[in-house]
Amino acid sequence: MDGSVDYGLLGDPGVVTAGSDLSLEDVLALARSRYRWMPCCVVEDWILFDVVVTEDELAKVHAAGCLPMIVYAHNVRHDDNRRFEPGNWVRSTIATEFSEGFLFVTRNTVYVLRGSGHRKSASLKDIYAIH
């Protein structure tokens, strides 16, 4: 298995969710105006994972200033730091903030969710098995 197709986890569509419908230029301008100190990564064909955690784990996640959420995207459109080439996939680290339904913030990056995507729940083990 090459990781790009995991019919168990990626094959289940989850709930269709809307991201931003702004143009690439407009969504970058918006993200940069709100998060001036952080690099932006615009993605399409994304999955927003709600990480399945116990109550104790959730308390630890929240105590660390995080949310139990991770984004996986099949298509990077733009990355300010050029870590990811356009068309490549990316998996974020855990979220610190999620706002507007399309601004997914980690400790070091603002992921801008463009177009429609999906939202589903999964374990960390399953999410990190995607590669």
Nearest CA to 14 out of 129, 124, 116, 125 is that of: 116
Q: Is residue 5 part of a domain?
A: no
Domain tally for the chain? 1
Q: Mean of the per-residue pLDDT values for the chain? A: 88
Nearest CA to 113 out of 36, 35, 17, 10 is that of: 17
Q: Is residue 38 part of a domain?
A: yes
Q: Taking the CB of residue 40, how many other CB atoms lie within 10 A of it? A: 21
Domain that holds residue 74: 15-128
pLDDT higher than 80, residue 7 = no
Q: Is residue 115 part of a domain?
A: yes
79: its two tokens = 């990355």
Confidence at 16, pLDDT banded by 50, 70, 90: confident
Nearest CA to 65 out of 7, 13, 107 is that of: 107
Q: Is residue 10 part of a domain?
A: no
Work out the widest C-alpha separation in the chain, in whole angstroms: 41
- For residues 32 and 27, give the distance between their C-alpha atoms in angstroms, rounded to a whole number: 8
